[in-house]
Structure 1
Amino acid sequence: MKKEKRWKKRWRVMGKALHMEIREHKSSFIVYVILRALVIVMMILQIFNRNFENVFLCALTLALLIVPSFIQVNLKIELPTGLEIILLLFIFAAEILGEIQAYYIRIPQWDAILHTMNGFLMAAIGFSLVDILNRNKRFSIQLSPVFVSIVAFCFSMTIGVVWEFFEFAMDKFFLLDMQKDTVLHTISTVMLDPTGGNHTVIIRDITDAAVNGESLGLGGYLDIGLNDTMEDLFVNFVGAVIFSFIGYFYVKKRGQGKFASRLIPRPKKAECDYLEKAIEEEAIEEERKEPPEQVEDIEKS
């Protein structure tokens, strides 16, 4: 019973803190409410259509939309309003527009746009992780702007590579085709070397490909994911490089850049710690609920 009460209290406090955190950032709160309403409407439509896979994606999206506020409350890191809005839009664009509305298929560059944004955002997060330590007085080492930018770039690229590993695993074991196919008209391969050696055979102007004797009707050779993966990593690279340059000048001039300051997370100030406020409010409410006699006994002891 005591454990259940503790867990209920923790969730109650956490809910209050998240509620306070969300409402404090008015711009991001408005975006959050609009996106949440759209996702709920989409979920209801998918339930009527009996498309339960998309219902799961909607539920996942609703959970992910809370993540930015959850991070701020638990890790005591302040996400700038601009960064928080971009994160919310990114989640909505990837899950609802990309997957359910099939923008990945309808708009050929949709995946590239999201991966570029991902590279940019992950570089911002990686940059902040190092910069927070760099500005902490407890650490005697002060890292140069170049080093901080390199770490941010490497962090972003690592996240990009790990995501491609995830996509490959989903395609390999669950046949989801997350790494989208590409139609090619020229290939080079050593598999077709008539001598059985390591000489490249180039085939140009491919207009058709067949599987088990049946034409695919694609107008070319079907590549299963390699081009998509390399394009994703390249645009991730572009996004990471762009933010690394922005971050370099931000550290060089020590926070003078207005644009960078709107995108770089920073330690939460004491007056903005909504978790502490929620704990205090919960303690006050519990004191009010206690019977007067019990309060007197506590005072005597």
Structure 2
Amino acid sequence: MGKRAILPSDPAERLHRILLIVLQTAMGIEAALLLWRRDLQDALLVLAIMAVTLLPLLLRHRLSVRMPYAFQILAVVFVFAALYLGSMQRFYVMFPWWDSVLHFSSGLLLGILGFMLIYLLNEDHRIDLSVKPLFMAVFAFTFALALGALWEIVEFLMDVTLGTTMQTPTPGDPSGLTDTMIDLILDATGGLIIAAYGFVYVRQGSRSFISDWIARFVQDNPDWFRRRKRFRRRP
């Protein structure tokens, strides 16, 4: 009984749980070492990152929506890579390309989320909404870009208040404006790729990982879709 609670039978959920255990253990050791060195500020930052990665799991019984575990895995890896590796372990400084990879990845991730949201709303009978594939693609793109801009604000606030180096100044631009604009371009590029991919998927009706994730989302949230027309997984 206890073993099943720790490692569920569903492969994606099991991988998600194992990933959380490994990351939380690594960050917990880091936080303990920082407290031992009396580095309270960095220790609190690590504890905050641990809380962020654990939040979906802790609130799963209180939230009315459950996202696919595959998406949650990507989200946890992104938060760990951005906040812990990027800021705490100074990957942003050691690897100049680290920030660019993360922003491109975030554009892909947010584009997937935006496309899933608009697709589900369009398929739900309880909501009077009927949109064309092009609008879905535009929504996914703008959703990714908007949240990418919001993340730039978060980076700025963390640099100012916590002394992190999430916005990297360049020799010709100590203000970090160039870095911010490059990040937004990468966010837009990732979102555009997913928007184009989703557009082709909807137009052709072919099977994709998006359709699989949507089908799993419907399965995990039956209360949301009792009056929804039956979701069809295409062969």
Partner residue of 2:182?
231
Change (3 A) 1:176 1:41: closer
Q: CA offsets, 1:235-283, max 9 Å, x none?
A: 11111111112222333344721x334565834536799xxxxxxxxxx
CA displacement at 1:136 relative to structure 2? 0.5
Partner of 1:93: 81
Give the equivalent residue in structure 2 for 1:58.
Answer: 46
Aligned in 2, Cα 1:263/1:38: closer, same or farther, shift over 3 Å? Answer: farther
SS in 2 for 1:181: coil
Query: What letter is aligned with 1:260?
Result: I
- Structure 2 residue aligned with 1:67: 55
1:153 to 141, 145, 149: 141
**Are 2:34 and 1:34 equivalent residues in the alignment?**
no
Say which of 207, 210, 216 aligns to 1:260. 210
Higher relative contact order (CA 8 A, sep 6+): 1
How large is the RMSD of aligned CA atoms in angstroms?
2.9
1:64 alignment partner AA? V
Query: Judging changes above 3 Å, is the alpha-carbon distance between structure 1 residues 63 and 228 closer, same or farther for their aligned structure 2 residues?
Result: same
Residue 170 (structure 2) aligned to one of 182, 199, 205: 182
**Most deviating of 136-145 and 154-163:** 136-145
Tell me how far apart the structure 2 counterparts of residues 271 and 134 of structure 1 sit (CA, whole Å): 17
Instruction: List alignment gaps of at least 5 residues for structure 1.
Output: 1-18, 185-221, 274-301
Counterpart CA distance in 1 for 2:19 and 2:156 is 33
Counterpart residue identity of residue 125, structure 2: K
CA distance in 1, matches of 2:58, 2:190: 25
Whether the 8 Å CA contact 1:119–1:160 is kept in 2: the answer is yes
Offset at residue 54 of structure 1 (A): 1.5
Q: Which residue identity lines up with residue 36 of structure 2 in the other structure? A: F
Listed as ranges, the matches of 1:159-170 within 5 Å are 159-169=147-157
Contact 1:123 1:155 in 2 (8 A): yes
* Alignment correspondent of 1:277: none
- Secondary structure in 2 matching 1:180: coil
Give 1:240's aligned amino acid. Answer: G
Superposed, 1:135-146 pairs within 5 Å as: 135-146=123-134
Listed as ranges, the matches of 1:1-301 within 5 Å are: 23=8, 25-69=13-57, 73-169=61-157, 178-184=166-172, 222-254=173-205, 256-257=207-208, 259-261=209-211, 266-269=217-220
- CA offset digits 1:201-225 (Å, max 9, x no partner): xxxxxxxxxxxxxxxxxxxxx5321
Amino acid at match of 2:182: E
- Summarize deviations over 1:95-149 as a string: whole Å, max 9, x none: 2111111000000011111111111111222222211211111234321111111
TM-score normalised to the size of structure 2? 0.79
Please state how far the C-alpha of 1:51 moved relative to its aligned partner: 1.5
Report the CA distance between 1:173 and its aligned residue: 7.3
Q: For 2:223 and 2:51, locate their aligned partners in 1 and report how far apart those are by CA, in whole Å.
A: 23
Equivalent residues of 2:145, 2:188 under 8 A apart: yes
For the structure 1 residues 256 and 74, does the alpha-carbon distance in structure 2 shift closer, same or farther, using more than 3 Å as the test? farther
Percent identity, please: 28
- Kept after mapping to 1: 8 A contact 2:92/2:166: no
Relative to its length, the structure with more strand (as a share) is: 1
